[in-house]
Structure 1
């Protein structure tokens, strides 16, 4: 590419032909009077193409440019510097002129130029917009038991869900039926939750109407209420990192490769141009860690920089906020009464904001019928030393008042974790939950210490103290130890002690072994105030994709002897589990059946229980078409061309595809791959645009009996399709055929015409002919 030339050629013409831009230089008049060769050259700065053409004067090995040109290339030039500047005269600047490519390579140190920082590992993808199609879903879970005294019980948990692009309406209920010797048969049905929710993805906000749970913080108590709620929902943007992650700022003198290592493991690699760069680390470590950035330039020289960091999801990154606001009536007798709500309206609000990457502030307020409570809290990272949290709240209720204070600290790394926190009330502190239930604890203390010993195992101790007003204090201490004895065996030991009652102690010891074909076995011994117990368990887990599983257990101990046998099956349409257990003189059998029924696209589908997003594939009536998700087979379409695909990731891009080799020959398909972004708890209809076509392969011969020459064109009269080209042996493929067809054929020797009748045959493209192409008559 020849870019440099004397002043006889317009640089604008060169720029248009090369895709580069010409530097607008108000000081180029100085160059016109300079002695030397006048050149327009492509500029490469520190190995990075600038995409610009600059005006230079060459005088032997020296190159001159105006101060304005150098400023636009990024050089730091004082306002007093005007006129011509000799590049080779600047300190720490080297110039290499490539006459063949007409390019000027300039190398300058970082302190002489201003360059934009290259951001590595930045998440620049746009927020995917979800889709939802109208439909209905029923989740069910049926459970029944019968014991050796002829007592029978059956329960059914159901969730009926309606969804569309407007949102999701869900209703859950629990039905129970019991038949016992005394007092006889009884049944009831209780409505649990009825909720409508609509999400706004770009704002990461969800609006809820109906039965809901109020938002809260670590030092508040959520409540159930019926009403309205507006809350931040970060799950709507799964790629959004809500907590601060460390960033590294560096400088590459030449185009280089940057590698990032977290705790010795390579996590990221990318090329970077010369100049400053910013590298965002990968958020895979919660706690203290060590990062290393290795920069390797084009000459193979390496520089390594190590820095410690501390990350925690307790913090919000700077500028990010989280909130929840709700108003309604407190739900009472949940699970007992379907429509029991308090008569007084309640309001609560919670807010968090990342003030800096090391400080997150929070606030909470709530009120109902003369009771008002509110407080503030903070979470702060103390460098590499861990995280401190503190809170203070106060309440007033018809003349009575109280306070609640909280304080906590935690620190962890890949081998060690420690946390301690306390929450205490004074006076008569109350919240909304107090008005309709139990008072908050007057004292709640927790402490935990855990240590990973590598091949020696892991151990930990913890302490819990809880005290409610007017009730005895409870305190417990526990310790655990676990160790892998081999690739398939492990040992676990735990001790739990009631610190208020010396005799209340439990000890648990188990030995586990993993066998082949998902079979595992364990032997355990337990001591508790109720006595001693020894047990043997053998089970085969059910594959997540489906299949059989079972469990056998035998145990012997003080008033706890017996065993159980259970079998389970996970099918494409449901999960089934049944078993019998007998302990002492009590024997009963049980069975459980769970699954889902979906109505979409005027079809019913049955499946295992569906809790997340899903899709219905439509192949427009074509049956037995293989469907894949991320190249993994999901099944084949039914006789109406439909298939239900479950367990999709809500608000994320899911790749679905069909195998065109499973399609009949007489169809046209718009696409074989689809990128689907479903919303949560809803389904989306995915069509691949399959249409039947009237097509045939026609063999054309000339009047002499020889095949029509290769390359001849064929036009179907009455069709808007472009002419088709004849292949070998006079064969041409045609679509859009009718019952009677006339073909105009153009060969190198002239024109001819052929006619034929066509009758469509499903799932096949017939071969017609040979047809004689006779000379066309006017």
Structure 2
């Protein structure tokens, strides 16, 4: 926030305001800038036109601004003029915030910017601190009471992860992790560690160490100890809509709980040991729909993988390129929890894609090691009759010989019925020879020689959506049976109730007909009831859940019951998000069969916290996920809490007697806002600046202070002859003790009152433009805080007679 100030050429008496002040303004709980406003009796009187113009053009339609401009004149816009234009605006004295509530017609139509370049970072903090760091701790304790396996307390597991960023926004980040297992002979083990340097303007990420990297469709991506150079638009320029083709493999480095969803319906929960898995390793992927795999390791870390045989064809704009170049040593194939690399097995992998024209993208890829070479080409062509894409790869392995793989895809949108609800038709044909092998595979593993797929999907009215899919798989005789299948999926909303049905017929090694049903109902803004059924094993699951909100004091969780042919299961979990930690608990009760005695109870208790430092400040809070900010409070605010990024649900973080606030969930390379307020500041306390616009770097941090020594507001009264008020006179305040001090402007109102904001202890003199010039002196004591009353000052004015 800024200072009470005199606006050039503006009379407070004419404006009807007691004070003029710069104040943050917000739309949809997001601060959009500062407005200079007039305040009287805790209500808005006017908005200074220049400050309005500075922020309005980015958020309001041009026609609305032109109407407002023509309806008002002068250097201020009154609240009556805003009201006549239809804009709802109010002053929140509790948060010292101007709240704007534009209608949809008044808002500017925002368009995605696909052109190269950075967003406007004017007046945005990119991170100036030379060294920032954080470390997260997660502790997991399991308890088992089962008839089928050892019961009691299970070994304690801990995980540590953190990041260190040196040299500010243009520097380099170190990210690392480590694990502790109470049961293992070697209890502490290192996790992945790497150095990362980002060239944001060119969207290039350089990394060294345990590297993870992107790959083309038929490429593998085993973990490497080495170097990587990649253009990552999604990570470094998230304001641009450019995505990469995903691979269909994933690696589990620690024992993990794996949940599998098909079209958002939970299909199975499995416990998997460390290893590299391909989508085709799971029976459920022989179906016809999209798959989501959620992996939670024994240290509580979660990852999500999404797969579909209908991969999106990416058309890059003309002149835009994507690439990935990687080299190093492959991780040992024993998949032990200890990270080890085979230094006799160097490997390399890379691809390059280029937008040749707006309608044509070409690419090539190559990877290999001492015994394997894999190379290929790809193309995407956009036409009036749809998007065509294709790829071809060849492998040459020392042990298994040559192999081939390729795809042809076509995607077409059309409006058959002229309803502006287009239909989408997708065709795909995927080929893989028996000996085709990609990097990281010990041997060829493709089940099918050919997979041919077709899917037609369409919006069905305003509240329904449907799709039909058919698939044919021609298997390698040594690895499986041929398959054909057809599937139908329909979802429809009845008011707030959403229903989904998916039916699927597959003829392979055996004939199977599967039916999936799902019903969900939102209960308020954050609660949901959901029930699903699959006839494969007569599995019925009903669950109530609350959505987590990233605020202090949030309590979320779920409780559900599941029955199936194999038995029954009662599931429950709860998560509490405190200011300094997250506490989680989950309990599963299992009963084999409906009336058998074999039962099992599994309980997991998890505690998470994080510590971060920036500019010498140390803060404890919830775990940091990417970037963070610390908000400390000045000693003059030691008796009040500082609430950071407060919404209607509560603040994201709080600075209190325990220490500064830690905001843990900032996203890198996106402009975000930090806003803070004192919960109960001293009367008349000047908070100064209460918001910042920031652009966090990867693993970077920020540090700010709420309040300052210059927080005192002084008020006095200027009197002339016969104690008459000296009204509507400008004045300037200066330091009288030799300190460096930016002069402040002030103004007496109709009663001779003047206000001086943002003062700290010291001696001052104020010069008022009376005739002759009048000077007053006063001091602010070292123990002063908030509001102080200076009293009356008598000045001599020129006698007009």
| TM-score where L is the length of structure 2 | 0.62
Distance 1:738 1:517 in 2: 49
Deviation at 1:515, TM superposition (A): 4.2
Change (3 A) 1:672 1:764: closer
Residue 617 (structure 1) aligned to one of 631, 634, 642: 631
Deviation at 1:771, TM superposition (A): 6.2
Q: Hey, what does 1:748 align to over in structure 2?
A: 771
Change (3 A) 1:394 1:664: same
Q: Hey, what does 2:299 align to over in structure 1?
A: none
Q: Hey, what does 2:163 align to over in structure 1?
A: 161
Deviation at 1:321, TM superposition (A): 0.7
CA contact (8 A) 2:133 2:612 kept: yes
Unaligned runs of 5+ in 1: 1-119, 179-184, 245-310
Distance 2:557 2:761 in 1: 61
Q: Hey, what does 2:666 align to over in structure 1?
A: 648
Residue 584 (structure 2) aligned to one of 576, 582, 586: 576
The C-alpha deviation readout for 1:230-269, integer Å capped at 9, x for no partner, is: 010113222334499xxxxxxxxxxxxxxxxxxxxxxxxx
Q: Hey, what does 2:700 align to over in structure 1?
A: 682
Distance 1:147 1:771 in 2: 78
The C-alpha deviation readout for 1:95-145, integer Å capped at 9, x for no partner, is: xxxxxxxxxxxxxxxxxxxxxxxxx98777744564364333233444433
CA contact (8 A) 2:687 2:711 kept: no
CA contact (8 A) 1:493 1:510 kept: yes
CA contact (8 A) 1:243 1:315 kept: no
Residue 727 (structure 1) aligned to one of 736, 748, 766: 748
Change (3 A) 1:717 1:570: closer
Distance 1:456 1:697 in 2: 64
1:766 counterpart SS class = strand
Residue 449 (structure 2) aligned to one of 432, 437, 443: 443
CA contact (8 A) 2:413 2:423 kept: yes
| More relative contact order, 1 or 2 (CA 8 Å, 6+ apart) | 2
Match status 1:638 vs 2:656: yes
RMSD after superposition: 4.2
| TM-score where L is the length of structure 1 | 0.64
The C-alpha deviation readout for 1:116-175, integer Å capped at 9, x for no partner, is: xxxx98777744564364333233444433222424334434322222422221123444
Residue 489 (structure 1) aligned to one of 474, 494, 497: 497
Q: Hey, what does 1:561 align to over in structure 2?
A: 568
Distance 1:377 1:644 in 2: 46
Deviation at 1:651, TM superposition (A): 1.4
The C-alpha deviation readout for 1:190-219, integer Å capped at 9, x for no partner, is: 433111111011111000111123432112
CA contact (8 A) 2:447 2:480 kept: no
Distance 1:330 1:771 in 2: 81
The C-alpha deviation readout for 1:260-299, integer Å capped at 9, x for no partner, is: xxxxxxxxxxxxxxxxxxxxxxxxxxxxxxxxxxxxxxxx
Change (3 A) 1:749 1:399: closer
CA contact (8 A) 1:225 1:328 kept: yes
Unaligned runs of 5+ in 2: 1-110, 245-310, 415-420, 593-597
Matches within 5 A, 1:436-515: 436=442, 439=445, 443=449, 445-452=451-458, 453-454=460-461, 457-463=465-471, 465=473, 467=475, 470-473=478-481, 475=483, 477=485, 479-484=487-492, 486-515=494-523
Deviation at 1:653, TM superposition (A): 1.7
Deviation at 1:335, TM superposition (A): 5.0
The C-alpha deviation readout for 1:445-487, integer Å capped at 9, x for no partner, is: 2514142333565232243648569433464635243332621
CA contact (8 A) 1:542 1:549 kept: yes
CA contact (8 A) 1:666 1:692 kept: no
Q: Hey, what does 1:768 align to over in structure 2?
A: 790
Structure with more strand by fraction:
1
Q: Hey, what does 1:207 align to over in structure 2?
A: 206
Deviation at 1:345, TM superposition (A): 1.8
Deviation at 1:708, TM superposition (A): 7.8
Residue 534 (structure 2) aligned to one of 526, 533, 545: 526
Change (3 A) 1:541 1:738: closer
Change (3 A) 1:483 1:343: same
Distance 1:550 1:152 in 2: 23
